Chain A
Amino acid sequence: MDDDQSAEETAFVVDEVSSIVKESLEAVIGRNTYEHKRVNQWTSGVVEQCLGQLSKLGKPFKYIVTCIIMQKNGAGLQSASSCFWDNTTDGSCTVRWENKHLYCIVSVFGLAI
Chain B
Amino acid sequence: MDEDQSAEETTFVVEEITTVIKETVESTIGNNSYQHSKINQWTSNIVELSLSQLTKLGKPFKYIVTCIILQKNGAGLHTASSCFWDNSTDGSCTVRWENKTIYCIVSVFGLAI
Q: Which residues of A approach B to under 8 Å, CB–CB?
A: 34, 36, 39-40, 42-44, 46-48, 50-51, 54-55, 61-86, 90, 92, 107, 109, 111
Q: Can you spell out 15 A-B residue pairs with CB atoms less than 8 angstroms apart?
A: A43-B80, A46-B80, A51-B84, A64-B64, A64-B84, A68-B78, A70-B77, A73-B75, A75-B71, A78-B43, A82-B48, A83-B64, A84-B51, A84-B64, A85-B63
Contact of A71 among B43, B64, B77 (CB under 8 A): B77
Cβ contact within 8 Å between A43 and B68? no
Contact of B55 among A42, A43, A48, A84 (CB under 8 A): A84
Among B66, B78, B83, B107: residue with most chain A CB under 10 A: B78
Cβ contact within 8 Å between B80 and A67? yes
9 closest residue pairs by CB, A with B: A43-B80, A80-B43, A82-B47, A47-B82, A75-B75, A81-B66, A66-B81, A71-B76, A63-B84
In chain B, positions 45-100 with a C-beta closer than 8 Å to chain A are 46-48, 50-51, 54-55, 61-86, 90, 92
